[in-house]
Structure 1
Amino acid sequence: MNVGLGLPISDPAALLTWARRAEAGPFSTLGLLDRLVYANPEPLVTLAALAGATWGIRLQTEVLLGPLRQTALLAKQAATLDALSGGRFTLGVGVGGRPDDHAAAGTDLRTRGRRLDEQLATMRRLWAGEPYGEGAGPIGPAPVAEGGPEVLIGAFAPAALERVARWGDGFLCAAPPRVADGLMRRVERSWDAAGRAGRPRLVAQVNVALGPDATVQDARDAIGAYYAFTGDTERVLGGLLTTPRAIREAITAFGDLGADEVMLYCWSADADQVGRLGAVVI
């Protein structure tokens, strides 16, 4: 099973260091989250820079909030990043549920699911080289793989989980193993019911902080600030793994559930975590 790293967002300039260290270690993928009304780096711009600083590690949005973006431009950006990286880009995408992001983007929070379905259908057509529509032709560049970059869909609700079978190549699961089991099995059932060949790729995500007390506290502060809007940060903080044993056990548990990859999401800017986590993975 592959293990990737979710990148911290507090120091964008340091992410080049993270990327180079991760590629030298045992990691498969670099992931980056997306928000609009927040002090995080824009993920597509950032991953394009990391593509130029690396040569083999994959690059993944985790997840990009599709409904906040204009569809044709997003299709072009994703295809461009895919081409620049030599086919190493995975578009992890979701709807986004924070009202302030949608307010700033001028999009309707209530129709975000329907909008994402429409976006994914349009992007699949554009990546296949079809014209955009009346008055507009094809939008390039062509992605590396026929049909476009890999698409993973992050979801929790039943209707959103079924979106994986309609438009995705796999599922991004940001839930602990006891919850992930049911979510992954539902995705697999809907995949089979849709007549899709093979099986969906299953990617799990877990929050980690490995290092001295200052590193763990930095992560806790970052998670608390990011999830403050929920009013339930203690629940999220309860899932933060801070010991090698806990991290190994989580990787094993997700493997037992059939996950193809586990993303260890780092919230502290301490780049020495790359080496510490690499030792755990090895």
Structure 2
Amino acid sequence: MNVGLGLPVNDPAQLLTWARRADAGPFSALGLLDRLVYDNPEPLVTLAVLAGATSRVRVQTEVLIAPLHNTAVLAKQAATLDRLSGGRFTLGIGTAGREDDYLAAGADVHRRGRRLDSQLALLRRAWSGEPYGDGAGPIGPAPARPGGPEVLFGGFVPAVFERVARWGDGFLGGGLGPEWMDTAFRDVEHRWALAGREGRPRLVAQVNVALGPDAVVAEARKEMGGYYAFTGRAEHMLDGLLTTPARIRDAVTAFTGIGADEVMLYCWASDPDQIHRLADILP
């Protein structure tokens, strides 16, 4: 059973402590969200620092908003992080839909899906060592993993499942209970098979948690509510925040039971002592 930690973003100075404690514990990965117009650390820079401070745990974006990025620069950044981490980098990737992020980046929020589709072919080309395009040669360095870092797609629309089948290594789903995630997992697997892909996609579930004294839970609710305020459904999302050992343990068991290869426990409060509490309750 692989269980990772989604890192809180409201106190970046604590993240090295989180990373070192997780690396010494039973956790499989460290995930970090991406926003532009928000008070969060830039994920690729931050994960590079955390990868250098750890030796075992994987680092991944959950999820990087690729259409905001220059594709050639992103290819180089991802390959560099994969190489320097010894192949411990997973690029969780998606489009998101917050208009202010796109306005700040000078990108068109309405064309984000089409832009991502065009980026994927270029990323794979760059990571394979082929010339990037007309008049542009290969972009190095070569990633540690042949063909590029592991790529997971996040989201729940059919286009996301199609991207997994065509370009990805797996799927990352968050914000849904096991019964709904089961449907998404099976859809991803079905499209994977229809595409003639060998093996099976890696399936990752994300669940929001806060474990500790009342102050920890209150901080998590505040941070999570602020993050999801733009959706108009913040209270609904907060209803899914798991705050007791039994509920967290049951969620990990349930997601594993429907085929999740990894369950990411996304922590919204900055208290790093949650790492030990969570480690103690894992099934």
| Same-fold call, TM cutoff 0.5 | yes
Q: Conserved in 2, the CA contact under 8 Å of 1:26 and 1:281?
A: no
Q: Distance in 2 between matches of 1:11 and 1:183?
A: 33
Asked whether 1:134 is paired with 2:130, we answer no
> Any idea what the Cα deviations from partners look like across 1:141-175, whole Å, max 9, x if unmatched?
00001101000000111122211001100000112
How many angstroms apart in 2 are the aligned matches of 1:258 and 1:43? 28
Deviations, residues 121-157 of structure 1 (Å, cap 9, x unaligned): 1100100000011111000000001101000000111
Give the 5 Å matches for 1:125-274: 125-174=125-174, 175-274=176-275
User: What SS does structure 2 have at the residue aligned with 1:151?
Assistant: strand
Rounded Cα–Cα distance in structure 2 between residues aligned with 1:37 and 1:145: 32
Cα distance in 1, alignment partners of residues 103 and 281 from structure 2: 42
Please tell me whether the aligned partners of residues 60 and 90 of structure 1 are also in contact (alpha carbons under 8 angstroms).
yes
User: 1:118 & 1:28 partners in 2: Cα distance?
Assistant: 31
**How big is the shift at 1:176?**
1.6
Q: Is the 8 A contact 1:169 1:201 kept in 2?
A: yes
* Structure 2 letter corresponding to 1:226: Y
Tell me the amino acid that sits aligned with residue 217 of structure 1: A
- Let me know the Cα RMSD of the aligned residues: 0.7
State the 1:254 CA deviation: 0.4
Alignment-derived partner of residue 33 in structure 2: 33
Return 5+ residue gaps in structure 1 as ranges: none
* Aligned-partner Cα distance in 2 for 1:272–1:37: 29
- In structure 2, distance between residues paired with 1:109 and 1:160: 16
CA drift at 1:13? 1.1
Cross-structure match for 1:42: 42
Q: Tell me the secondary structure at the aligned position of residue 112 of structure 1.
A: helix
Displacement of 1:118:
1.1
Q: Distance in 2 between matches of 1:51 and 1:202?
A: 23
Paired position in structure 1 for 2:104: 104
Query: Which shifted more, 204-213 or 115-124?
Result: 115-124
Match of residue 120 from structure 1: 120
Counterpart of 1:104 in structure 2: which amino acid? A
Mapped partners of 2:158, 2:51: distance in 1: 34
Question: Which residue in 1 is equivalent to 2:279?
Answer: 278
Residue in structure 2 matched with residue 90 of structure 1 by the alignment:
90
User: Hey, what's the Cα distance between the residues in 1 that align with 2:68 and 2:281?
Assistant: 37
Displacement of 1:20 = 0.3
| Native 8 Å contact 1:76 1:139 kept in 2 | yes
Q: Which amino acid in the other structure matches residue 33 of structure 2?
A: L
User: SS where residue 162 of structure 2 aligns?
Assistant: helix
On the 8 A contact 1:61/1:93 being kept in 2, the answer is yes
- For structure 1, which segment, 106-115 or 2-11, has the greater mean C-alpha deviation from structure 2 after superposition? 106-115
**Identity across matched positions, percent:** 70
State whether residues 5 and 31 of structure 1, in contact with CA within 8 Å, keep that contact through their aligned partners in structure 2: yes
Q: Offset of 1:111 from its aligned partner? A: 1.0
| Native 8 Å contact 1:153 1:163 kept in 2 | yes
Partner SS state of residue 51, structure 1: helix
Instruction: Give yes or no for contact 1:113–1:160 (8 Å, CA) kept in 2.
Output: no
Which residue does the alignment assign to 1:72?
Answer: 72
CA deviations 1:164-215 (Å, max 9, x no partner) are: 0011000001122121011111100000000000000000000000000000
SS at match of 1:73: helix
Partner of 2:81: 81
For 2:123 and 2:241, the matched residues in 1 are separated by 35
| Unmatched segments (≥5 aa) in structure 2 | none
Q: What letter is aligned with 2:102?
A: H
C-alpha separation in 1, matches of 2:169 and 2:205: 14
Q: Match of 1:123, as an amino acid?
A: L
